Amino acid sequence: MVMDDEVPGAVGTSASFALRFGQTIFSAASLLFMSLGVEFHNYTAFCFLVTIMGLVIPWSITLALTDIYSVLIRCPIRHPGILLFIVFGDWALSFLTLAAASSIAGIVDVLQRADETFCAAGLCSRYQISAGLAFLSWFLSMASSLSNLWFLSSLTR
Amino acid sequence: MVMDDEVPGAVGTSASFALRFGQTIFSAASLLFMSLGVEFHNYTAFCFLVTIMGLVIPWSITLALTDIYSVLIRCPIRHPGILLFIVFGDWALSFLTLAAASSIAGIVDVLQRADETFCAAGLCSRYQISAGLAFLSWFLSMASSLSNLWFLSSLTR
């Protein structure tokens, strides 16, 4: 059921569920590439990425479940307060994700030049893949946030 | 003159001029701290910050002049195409600014640990101040982008 004023990607639609599913997958993959068998706690930025991904994953799963529920009962959320909370949460998490991914990308570039032995055993490519997955997660979070902001703006008028 | 549907911070208002003025000041200060007398071209992220700041400064100055002109002739821009271009430009530049600032912040942290002599002569604090100013510039760009997006959303309905 598509309503006239429904915004694709706003909370309670199947597009929103697809975005949340993508965020969960990319965040979990980024976390795994960063943390499994690697001493990620050597640098602040690596710990930062792991922390942020640990926040993004439960946030995205919760909202994905909300989307499934809303689609099944065919009743999207239209409460401006809840929407504002979701927009703000997505907004904050997407910026933190982008900041963490950029830090990792910059640091890997510096460490590759400073220390030839650092990139032994494919560590650098693992870090780079992790940063790339975090960038994808950021992009989907941003899309969710903008969709919900547009929907919120259409509700309050 | 305040119109009923005017959004504070949207293009053509005095609040928007204040935001643009702040962006210009912070970007120029960040560029100066990064580039004056420092060999910033050693690392990719440092060159990236300088490049982005070189884009943000003319963009902000142009829009600040547009705002002054709109305030003086009391006729804010209401063309959705132009607004969409401004929203997209602000959005892209603010993300690039955030990415550059985060990379610098991460790199300075790593270089401080890796090389004790690197932070001689106050270089690290200069890089950190530059990253901090870039963060402030990002915040103001984001505020401009969100205000204009809200205004655009109110126009298209």
CB-based contact B104:B46 (threshold 8 Å) = yes
| ∠ Cα A138 A139 A144 (to 5°) | 95
Is the confidence at residue B142, as pLDDT, over 70? yes
> CA dihedral in degrees (B28, B45, A40, A122; nearest 10)?
170
Task: Give residue A4's pLDDT band: very low, low, confident or very high (50, 70, 90).
Answer: low
> How far does the CA of residue B114 sit from the closest CA of chain A (Å)?
9
Q: Collapsing DSSP states into helix, strand and coil, what is residue B21?
A: helix
> Is A89 or A7 the better-scoring residue by pLDDT?
A89
Q: Do the chains contact at B98 and A103, CB–CB below 8 Å?
A: no
Query: What is the token pair recorded at A151?
Result: 């929907």
B103 at A interface, C-beta within 8 A: yes
For residue B99, what are the CA distances in angstroms to A96, A127, B30, B156? 10, 17, 14, 31
- Contact partners, residue A93, CB within 8 Å, separation at least 6: A52, A55, A56, A59, A141
Residue B4 confidence (pLDDT): 52
C-alpha–C-alpha distance, residues B42 and B52, integer Å: 17
> Is A155 or A58 the better-scoring residue by pLDDT?
A58
Query: b/e for A10-36, b at 16 or more Cβ within 10 A?
Result: bbbbebbbebbbbbbbbbbbbbebbbe
Task: Give residue A1's pLDDT band: very low, low, confident or very high (50, 70, 90).
Answer: very low
C-alpha–C-alpha distance, residues B99 and A74, integer Å: 39
Partner residue facing A103 (CB), from B102, B111, B149 = B102
DSSP state of B80: H
Residue B130 confidence (pLDDT): 92
Is the confidence at residue B157, as pLDDT, over 80? no
Partner residue facing A110 (CB), from B105, B107, B150 = B107
Q: Do the chains contact at B103 and A103, CB–CB below 8 Å?
A: yes
Q: To the nearest whole percent, how much of chain B has pLDDT over 70?
A: 91
CB-based contact A36:A79 (threshold 8 Å) = no
Partner residue facing B114 (CB), from A101, A114, A157 = A114
Residue of A40, A110, A111, A135 best to disrupt the B interface, most CBs of B under 10 A: A110
The domain segmentation of chain A, as residue ranges, is: 14-155
Q: Do the chains contact at A43 and B110, CB–CB below 8 Å?
A: yes
> How far does the CA of residue B102 sit from the closest CA of chain A (Å)?
5
A and B: number of Cβ contacts within 8 A: 73
DSSP B84-97: HHHHHHHHHHHHHH
pLDDT in tens, B14-71: 899 999 999 999 999 999 988 886 776 778 888 999 999 999 999 999 999 999 999 8
> How far does the CA of residue B89 sit from the closest CA of chain A (Å)?
15
pLDDT in tens, B75-115: 877 888 899 999 999 999 999 999 999 999 998 888 887 77
> How far does the CA of residue A105 sit from the closest CA of chain B (Å)?
7
B51 at A interface, C-beta within 8 A: no
A154 at B interface, C-beta within 8 A: yes
> Is B131 or A12 the better-scoring residue by pLDDT?
B131
Q: Collapsing DSSP states into helix, strand and coil, what is residue B11?
A: coil
> Whole-structure pTM over 0.80, yes or no?
yes
pLDDT in tens, B108-125: 888 887 776 767 667 788
Give the type of residue at A132.
G
Task: Give residue B2's pLDDT band: very low, low, confident or very high (50, 70, 90).
Answer: very low
C-alpha–C-alpha distance, residues A144 and A91, integer Å: 9
Residue B140 confidence (pLDDT): 94
Task: Give residue A2's pLDDT band: very low, low, confident or very high (50, 70, 90).
Answer: very low
A102 at B interface, C-beta within 8 A: yes
C-alpha–C-alpha distance, residues A38 and B49, integer Å: 29
Q: To the nearest whole percent, how much of chain A has pLDDT over 70?
A: 92
Q: Do the chains contact at A102 and B102, CB–CB below 8 Å?
A: yes
Is the confidence at residue A157, as pLDDT, over 80? no
pLDDT in tens, A35-55: 886 776 778 888 999 999 999
